[in-house]
Amino acid sequence: MLDIVYIRNNPEAAAAKLAKRGLSVDFSEFLEKDASRRALMHTTENLKAERNQKSAEIPKLKKAGQDTSMMLDELKALSEAIHANDESIAAMQQEQDEYLQGLPNMPADDVVAGGKEANQVVRTFGQERIFDFEPQHHVDLMTAAGMIDYERGAKLSGSGFWLYTGLGARLEWALINYFVDAHLADGYQMIMPPYLLNYEAGYAAGQFPKFLGDIFEIRSNDDSFRFLLPTAETALVNYHRDEIMAEAELPEKLFAYTACFRREAGSHGANERGMIRGHQFNKVEMFQFTKPEESEAALEELVGKACALVEGLGLHYQLVKLAAGDVGAAMRKTYDIEIWIPSMAGYKEVSSVSNAGDYQARRGNIRFRREEDGKVEFCHTLNGSGLATSRVLPAIAEQNQQADGSIIVPEVLRPYMGGIEIIRPL
């Protein structure tokens, strides 16, 4: 949620920032209603003070034998006016909150305006492989090697699902363990969150109410709302919801492995057949809670960690800084790591690393207390995939394929594969 104080003091600047996302926002009416609400609050506080004063006088008057009936009538009128004002203030506050909830985060100053067409390639690693044979699609490579089973996945759950089998399951698990060990070595704390979350978790993450249609909803016998997490970020951002941390606890660095569930189409055409899109996939997610002045450095750290994981696998990728219109609604700045998929002759995102600023913290009431003066502030939250496997595995299969249909296992994964160096067709 946006900082209303910033909007009050800088309405034109706030509107200009949101315009970079392609939104046309005029805060005039909102600020008029905000001023009316604040004026009514001031009036109501004066009425409450008057009521308290009269309430204190009545016992004295009664003790002195004076008639208090008129003052009691005045008290009744004051209480009725206060009650009516409180109801009006609550309604105005709800309307104001709903308005703010519908606004995305303001992009950082160094994020350019525009959509995907304005995204900027920051750097690349490696080069597109030039094959001296006809390269195969990862679906064909992995099916022939007995690594994946699409037919049985669809039989069990429908389109958009698959089974990892044999060395495919082992390679997937090797990737996850490679990621986990790297984060542990860097001092991140491992979390294993529940996969079912409540509405408040989705709201704090900035996904609800706007993106309710993107999740798998679960209804229990008592009709309470739960949903399958679309990413571990949704759980991790809520780790300190409605809490005040000590400044010394920051930065707090966490990561979690989870399956992720999303209502995405199982296929977006022939060029995205296979594992590129699915309703369920595995991901290791990095997360940080930081002080505001440290969040930009934390973003660079997370980007570096995600890049190092891909480079450790020896895979060609590009790092892209997203334009404002392509940045997620809850984020102020995002970098995507896009991996080369030869069969698609293009790049697909395997990690999205973002700084939400205080947007999620405001929604989740996540704060910290300064040691020097005891001041309580909202912290900043950051997240980054480290990494999602459903596109890394196809990239490994396609970038490392050989003419005979075999796949070279990246060296960093071999210790998790019992020393297996090559996966061959069955």
Instruction: Classify residue 267: in a domain, yes or no.
Output: yes
77-126 pLDDT tens trace: 999 999 999 999 999 999 999 999 999 999 999 999 999 999 999 999 99
Structural domain contains residue 13:
no
Which CATH number goes with the domain that contains 394?
A: 3.30.930.10
In a domain, 315, yes or no: yes
Residues 270 and 374 in one domain: yes
Q: Is 21 within a domain? A: no
User: What's the CA gap between 84 and 79, in Å, rounded?
Assistant: 9
Contact in structure between 7 and 27 (CB atoms under 8 Å): yes
Query: Is residue 159 a part of any domain in this protein?
Result: yes
Shared-domain flag, residues 120 and 97? no
Walk along the chain (426 residues) and give the pLDDT tens digit of each residue: 999 999 999 999 999 999 999 999 999 999 999 999 999 999 999 999 999 998 999 888 888 888 888 889 999 999 999 999 999 999 999 999 999 999 999 999 999 999 999 999 999 999 999 999 999 999 999 999 999 999 999 999 988 899 999 999 999 999 999 999 999 999 999 999 999 999 999 999 999 888 888 899 988 777 789 999 999 999 999 999 999 999 999 999 999 999 999 986 444 444 456 667 789 999 999 999 999 999 999 999 999 999 999 999 999 999 999 999 999 999 999 999 999 999 999 999 999 999 999 999 999 999 999 999 999 999 999 999 999 998 999 999 999 999 999 999 999 999 999 999 999 999
| Number of domains making up the chain | 2
pLDDT per residue over 143-179, tens digit each? Answer: 999 999 999 999 999 888 999 999 999 999 999 999 9
Does residue 109 sit within a domain? no
Contacts of 190 (CB under 8 A, 6+ apart): 180, 183, 184, 254, 255, 256, 257
Is 264 a member of any domain? Answer: yes
CB 418 within 8 A of CB 366: no
* Res 274: pLDDT: 65
Q: Does residue 89 share a domain with residue 228?
A: no
Range of the domain at 51: 26-101
Instruction: Kindly report the backbone phi and psi dihedral angles of residue 410, in degrees, each rounded to the nearest multiple of 5, phi listed first.
Output: -55, 140
